Amino acid sequence: MTGLVMSQNDPAPETGSAVLPPCTDSELHPPSSGRDWPRFEPPAGTVCRLTTVTTRELLLARIVNISRGGVRLLTDLPLARGTCLMTELANRSGLFVRFLLTHIIYVSAQEDGRFALGGEFLEPLNLEELRLLLM
């Protein structure tokens, strides 16, 4: 889907499209069993901007996968578990942007020297926002 540009008149992709696999009604609501939301891979090379709330440090991260409730990121710098971030998510066209407070729940050093971060959104994305971000 590289090079896809949406105008404001273009409809969001439908559930079951190449962008967003079929979703059941249970995927529209928070999980009750403690299991994670379904995760989706964004287009290759999708990045987001992170700003630490306390120090206002800015960094870029590559999005590995995203769900309604959180995101897995790769960064060059480690962040401490428990860090609170303002995460700027945008779709590839840049026509949709969402800012979310994100709580880092895990940090894992990778073999290539980067760091995997698991972030939980303080407010979940709605299904439409997730669809737009995956375009």
pLDDT digits (tens, 9 = 90+) for 84-109: 999 999 998 889 999 999 999 999 99
**pTM (2 d.p.):** 0.74
Residue 91 in tokens: 């779709």
Residues 107-127 as b/e (b if ≥16 CB within 10 A, e otherwise) read beeeeeebbbbbbbbeebbee
* Residue among 59, 72, 70, 55 at smallest CA distance from 110: 72
Arithmetic mean of pLDDT, 112-127: 96
- Dist. CA 125–CA 131, nearest whole Å: 10
Return the CATH number of the domain spanning residue range 54-122. 2.40.10.220
Write out the H or E segment, with its range, that includes residue 127. helix 127-133
Dump pLDDT digits (tens) for 16-41: 444 444 555 454 455 554 557 899 99
Q: Where are the domains of the chain?
A: 54-122
